[in-house]
Amino acid sequence: MTSEWHEVPLRELVGYISKGIAPSYAEEASETTIRVLNQKCNRNFRISYGDSRLHDTLKKKVPPERYVKPDDILINSTGAGTAGRIAQIEDVPSATTIDGHMILIRSNGKVTQKFLGYALKAHQWEVLQLDEGSTGQTELNRDRLLDEIMINYPVSFDEQNAIVGTLESIDRKLIVNEQLNDNLQQQAATLFKALFVDLTPFDGTMPPNWTISTLGDATEMGAGGDKPKESSPVKTPLCPYPIYSNGINDYGLYGYTNDPKIKAESVTVSARGTIGYVCLRHTPYVPIVRLVTLIPDTKVLSAKYLYLYLRQLHITGTGTTQQQLTVPDFRKTEIIIPDKNTTECDNYFDRRVDVTGNYIIRFYFSLGFIVHGDEGDCSCHAGDLVYLLCEEYHDQRFGNGGRLSGIVRFGCDYRGFNCY
């Protein structure tokens, strides 16, 4: 027997929708303070308390309905590339509300709250298109959100719960994998900093055949403009090229278009909102909303080295009312460029071994490929910085020994590679 499904506008499934409060911030916690979430807390479909602040309820009371509950749906409502981000909060560790740049949504009971959250997240790209206003000052149109977003759902609550259970299981696995990748990336960052920033192998002194340049001299730097007229919230044959903005959610992916502006491998840096968020871009794309782009001069360095180097920097913006990273200022940033002859992969092989059960995590760092883009003698295909899970290890030269049991993805938007 086929279950009954309906498709209705979001409005018919929402029992409560409201913006947050205008907080009265407090610097220190007290009996009268509660947590207030903001747009920075909403990333990658999840809520993090890391960027939350304190609100003093003694100075401004919070209506009971605006206190956040587990499974509440939160949507960012302000700013190009930010308005439309969707997350569903799982745990509320302490009394919490949201600020005026977020929207809170609760089900009216026709669907479970968790099902509504997953259904809305499936429409992320359509919701991102509902911002209106001038560049940088856009606002999510709430009426369009409620009337234009169509939700398909099964009438049976058992079926809703079964769907949610499957998706939650997948989410848990993704979280475990992300934690593993985060740990490995932290190790990579530590090693890179030791070699190229702190110059630990050289007692803190830069070798005489290395040079110091500026980003302006070592790269072609620019900034993104307005959203292309021809665009799609999803990838299509007519719009296959990604549009990237300053957002962190899904590495800043805003949508897709038909004509890429940047075709070379490059690096982007968020110039607004979360300033300094660095991504390595392997495929052609279009940058928007002042997203800073850097195309390296491949005669002196590769995009991969540039990406890893920028991740070590504390990149900040300027401005009193709205912080922003500007191209003229960023061009002055210095960067160390190693000599190509110094970076042969055989001379810089670092192996980190961490025994977990029968597996060995082996860390392979092909500096020759990272800095200058040359594979040299390395048998790693397309591996800028590679972590391998190996069952056996026989040789320092990657590929000459060891049966590979898996590959852990590294890179902000790297989708996998083959090793042989």
CA-atom Rg of the chain in angstroms: 24
Nearest CA among 216, 228, 218 for reference residue 287: 228
CA–centroid distance for 18 within its chain? 27
Mean pLDDT of 23-37: 95
Q: By percentage, how much of the chain surpasses pLDDT 70?
A: 78
Q: What would the pLDDT profile of 241-253 be if each residue is shown by its tens digit? A: 999 998 776 788 8
The domains of the chain, with CATH numbers, are: 5-155 (3.90.220.20), 211-337 (3.90.220.20), 343-408 (no CATH)
Residue 280 · residue 304 · CB < 8 Å = yes
Give mean pLDDT, residues 16-33.
95
Is the entire prediction scored with pTM above 0.85? no
Percent of the chain with pLDDT over 90: 49
The SS3 of residue 295 is strand
> Above 90 in pLDDT, residue 203?
no
- Summarised one tens digit per residue, pLDDT across range 301-335 is 888 889 989 998 888 888 766 778 999 999 999 99
More confident residue, 352 or 222: 222
pLDDT digits (tens, 9 = 90+) for 230-240: 988 778 889 99
Name the residue among 286, 277, 147, 165 with its Cα closest to residue 230.
Answer: 286
Q: Write down the pLDDT at residue 135.
A: 55
Contact (CB, 8 A) for 57 and 65: no
Specify the pLDDT at position 336.
92
Average pLDDT of the segment spanning 355-383: 34
